[in-house]
Amino acid sequence: MADKPPRPALSEDWLAVLIAFSLIALAAFGVLGKNGLNVVF
């Protein structure tokens, strides 16, 4: 039986970019903010 090819790993840098841009997209579409989930600090 052939070995499964290794799953490509996402580096920490790209993961950070992916998470940050997901948050940016959520804010841009209004999911995060006054009319959605209002995150405060």
Partner 1 sequence: MTRNSSVPGLIVMAGLAVGAWWLTRQVAGMALPFGIPGRALEYPLWAALVGLLANFGLKRTGLYAAVEPGLKVELFLKIGLVLLGASVSLALLAPTALGAVVQGLVLITGVFLFSWWLGGRFGLDAKLRAVMSSAIAICGVSAAIAAAGSVLAKKEQVTYVTALVIVVALPLMVIAPALAGALGLSQTVAGAWFGGNIDTTAAVVGAGTLYGETAQKVASVVKATQNALIGVVTFLLALYFTVVVEGKPGERPSLRLVWDRFPKFVLGFVAASLLYTFGLIDGGRGTPLEALRNWSFTLAFVGMGLQLSLSDLRRMGWRPFAVFLITTVFNTLLALGAAWLIFGVWLPPAG
- Supply the minimum distance, in Å, between the C-beta of residue 2 and partner 1: 27
For 1-41, list the strands marked E by DSSP.
none
In this structure, what token pair is assigned to residue 30? Answer: 């209004």
Give me the phi and psi of 16, to 5 degrees please: -60, -45
Provide, rounded to whole angstroms, the least separation between the CB of residue 7 and partner 1: 17
Toward partner 1, which CB reaches closer, 1 or 23? 23
Residues at the site binding partner 1, with contacts judged by CB under 8 A? 11-17, 19-21, 23-24, 27-28, 32-33, 38-41
Contacts of 26 (CB under 8 A, 6+ apart): 32, 36
- The distance of closest approach from Cβ of residue 30 to partner 1 in the complex, given in angstroms and rounded to an integer, is 10
